[in-house]
Amino acid sequence: MSKTIKSFNRGAVRQELSEALLALQKCEQKTQSGAYDDAPLPIAVDFQQVLIHLCLAWHFKDMTHEEIQALTQEKFNSLSNTVPNFGFSLRLMSGIDPEVE
C-alpha cells in the first residue's frame, strides 16, 4: 500500500508566517512603548494572534488551497488554536490548560 505524499504548501505557510510576523512586530512595538505595562489581558490577546498564525502555518503546510478553503469554521478554529506536537522538549504549561497535568 503506497502512501500519497502531499507537497509543501509554500504559499499558505508563507501567508501565515507573514501574518505572524506582523503580529509579532506589533507586540514588539507595544512592548517598547510600554503598552503592556500592567496589562496582562492585552498581551495575552496579542500573543494569541502570533500563536494562531504559527499554528495555522504548521497545519496548512500539507494541505492544498482547496482543502484550506473547504474547512468548516469549526475545523478552522480547531486548527488555529491547536499547538502542534513537534516532538521536541516543548510542552504545554500545567495550570493553564486543564487537559495538561
The model's pLDDT over 3-62, given as tens digits with 9 standing for 90+, comes to 566 799 999 999 999 999 999 999 999 999 999 998 888 999 999 999 999 999 999 999
pLDDT at 62: 93
**Whole-number Å distance between alpha carbons of 81 and 101:** 19
Residue 96 has pLDDT above 60, yes or no: no
3-state helix, strand, coil in the chain (%, to 5): 55, 0, 45
Tell me, yes or no, if the pTM score tops 0.85: no
